[in-house]
Every structure is written in structure tokens, then in C-alpha cells.
A and B are shown apart, each in its own frame.
Chain A
Amino acid sequence: QSALTQPASVSGSPGQSITISCTGTSSDVGGYKYVSWYQHHPGKAPKLMIYDASNRPSGVSDRFSGSKSGNTASLTISGLQAEDEADYFCSSYTRSATLVFGAGTKLTVL
């Protein structure tokens, strides 16, 4: 199972919006609603930010939103803040009954 495709890095200034894409296939992202996004500050526990492609868990800021179209999911962060600087990973359930992650995107807040 190949990793989902994410850009290696994105950046934005405080207050701006950024979008991170996550591209898979019809056997994973395109075939199931079970697409998640995780925020990972190095050395800390990863945190679930989006589940079912577009739902936010309780306690996650509404500045974070998700969407999916075909084989590509997207995470948008609006009103960028310094504390948003982290690595972001997408994941999807797959037809093979496994879980596949993206390679991760490093977000830099300028």
C-alpha cells in the first residue's frame, strides 16, 4: 500500500489561510469516508483534527476544516496562528483492511 500523497511543506503568514491536499486512489481516499487529519508537534502525541473527511472532534478549533472530492482530501486552516506550526498527516482506511497515512506536510507559520 503506497502512502497517500501530500505536499512536503506549506507556509503562510499569521491570519492567512492555507490548504493541504492528500491524494490517494479509489481503494482508499476515494472509496471510503474514513479519512482523518492529524496534527503532530514533534516530541508530542499526534492529535486528531478532522475525521470522516470533514468533521471536527470536540475541542478542535473551527479554524480547521476538511473536505473531500474524489480521490483527494483537503485540510484548510484559516486565521493561521503561530501554534498551528506543526506536521500534518492524513490517513484513510483502505480496501485491504489496513490504514494508510500520507507522508506528512510541514506547516511553517512565517
Chain B
Amino acid sequence: SQQGEEDPQALSIQEGENATMNCSYKTSINNLQWYRQNSGRGLVHLILIRSNEREKHSGRLRVTLDTSKKSSSLLITASRAADTASYFCATDPDRGSTLGRLYFGRGTQLTVWP
């Protein structure tokens, strides 16, 4: 399967704590993306990391990529109740292609308690 797999499936933390989610995948990738989904809504793109990058930051988000281990992690620092959502990693396996196919994992359900 080309899909990523997130770990853990569910994560429950208090406001102010950091949340770390992991993603493993099986094929070579062009890039890896993280998306967020609020219950019953569409997905929202959060951050993208290319295969030649190892770490990237965007606000309270930090993503790392280890292509030798075929894994990525998403860290949300100083979490807020509004961060409660499902988080998905998606892999783009098509190097040099504009097809734009993405393959998603099953997601991590993050709950942040006030």
C-alpha cells in the first residue's frame, strides 16, 4: 500500500502540552504533507516537507522527515482546545510529476482538554 500510517490513533492531552504524531510510509516520496480535519468537515492543508528536507516549521507546527526510516512526525507546541481535530499525513509518490496524487493514512484523533 502507498498509504501512510499514523501513530497513535488517538491522543488526549491538556492545553499547553505538546502533541506529537508520527507517520510511517512504505514507498519513496516526492514530499509528505500534513492535513487537519475538524469533525464532519473537509481537510485543511497544514504543512509540507519535501524529500530533501529534514525539518520544517510553521508557527506552532514542526514537522520532521527521515527518508531512511520512511517516517515523519508532526509536533504541535503549546496546544489549545481549538487544536482538537484529526490529523492526517499524506504522501506524494510521483517524483517529477504533476499528477498530484496523494495517499493518506488513517489519521490521529487529537483531543485537547481545556
Do A and B associate with each other? no
